[in-house]
Chains A and B, each alone.
Chain A
Amino acid sequence: MRWDWRQRSHDMTERRWDPTLREWVITATHRQERTFKPPADYCPFCPTEEDAEYPTAIPEPEYDMAVIENGFPSLQPDPPAPAVESTDLFPVEAATGQCEVVLFTEEHDGKMSEQPVSRFVKLVKLWRDRYEKLGAIDDHEYVYIFENKGEEVGVTLEHPHGQIYAYPFVPPKIERELESSDQYLREEGRCLFCDLIDSEREDGRRIVAENDSFTAVVPFHARWTYEVHVYANDHVPSIADFTAEDERNLGNLLNEILQRYDALFGFEMPYIMATHQQPTNGDAEQYAHFHIEFYPPYRTGDKLKYPAGSERGAGTFINNKLAEEGAAELRNAI
């Protein structure tokens, strides 16, 4: 049947199965219309001033931290029916789930590396709340906490913020990690990530920062020049398993990582931040291990690393620097 594009809904989300890579692809057509780089005076994430002509997305004149329902969600609690019919070879399902935006501060120009450690500790507590609340919903298999920071990684709103997607499936990169750790557990009797971080701490060459609960390293297999992974030192499957000391220590280490990033080249480092942890369907407690991954796109102070033919077309990253050298530079940045 020929597709008539004029019949398409303007608020259409669905997920389509790619049988070649065995992963879902989400289509969210309304995201073409999302707010794109508005001037600071029209920022939707700033508080609504008392004499404002138009309200922002925040209906109060001040706030500390806030979570708002994403105005242009890729996943929705009650999504529309898919635009095309599902077949055996081309499965399509409704894009069920939840998308939230996390506002780190009410300050539009608030530089996170200059925020006190307490703001990061608050953020960890907020993340934990959302992981637990969104994860308790039956439709949600994985609560993904992430941040896109900087124009270089495609950010369309400057106000300091992160995002949370509650997926109805375990996303493929996390699923592959968990399969590797599951296999390692069955073969070696230990969590893969526990052994990785123990080895990194013993070796020391790739460590960027550490405290009693967490260690930040440029991973042995870093894809990005200044990629950093923050691992829980002990076997902690998810943020829901944190002690109060863990919350403080993660806040402390995140603050330090951002300071090191911003000091490295003398400007606010853009990055993608991704949290990997136990799926909220309860699986993988023995082999899921909480960690956060940072992917900054700069390979020098004035050159970006573009994932291109080998990275996007073949799935093989080429790093321009030894992980040991990248870690040393970050250690010496402050």
Chain B
Amino acid sequence: MPIPEGTYGLLAEFDTAGELTRAAKASYDAGWRRLDCYTPYPCEEAAEAIGFHRNYVPVITLIGGLMGLTAMFLLETWINLLAYPLNIGGREYFSWPAFMVPAYEWTILFAGLSAAFGMLAMCGLPAPYHPLFNAPNFRTASTDKFFLCLEARDPQFDATVSRKFLEGFSPVSVVEVEY
């Protein structure tokens, strides 16, 4: 894969979540699709504004949980019926109520691991490098500043016109981010 070069996008900095959300909404309404917002805490309104309504973490978690449940229950059944049948006080070999306890724990284990690692995978993390880290003011995104990035991948992107468009929202600054 060739290393991308040139402009990644234009990054506008805002002071409040409200300004960011309005700018994001206006950009989305103007037809921008390759854009993203960066905030120091979860800001649902901004995500809604750029058309991000649903994610697949719950589905991944459900699949993980069902896998854990099935894996442990079948393992216990196989061990107690075929691999190593033990007579414990004359109880049923297939003691499914007793098997439910470890199966329940593994449901939670697999579901939890799927939720955590599935979330990271959907976000494309770990990603130690990202072009945005080249922007000098982007460090404040994890403290108190709000950013809107219009990406160069969007067909509408034009370094001059898009900068004018962003400046219309009266941001603190607009910087061009290089790959």
**B and A form one assembly:** no
Instruction: Name B's A-contacting residues (CB within 8 A).
Output: none
Instruction: Name A's B-contacting residues (CB within 8 A).
Output: none
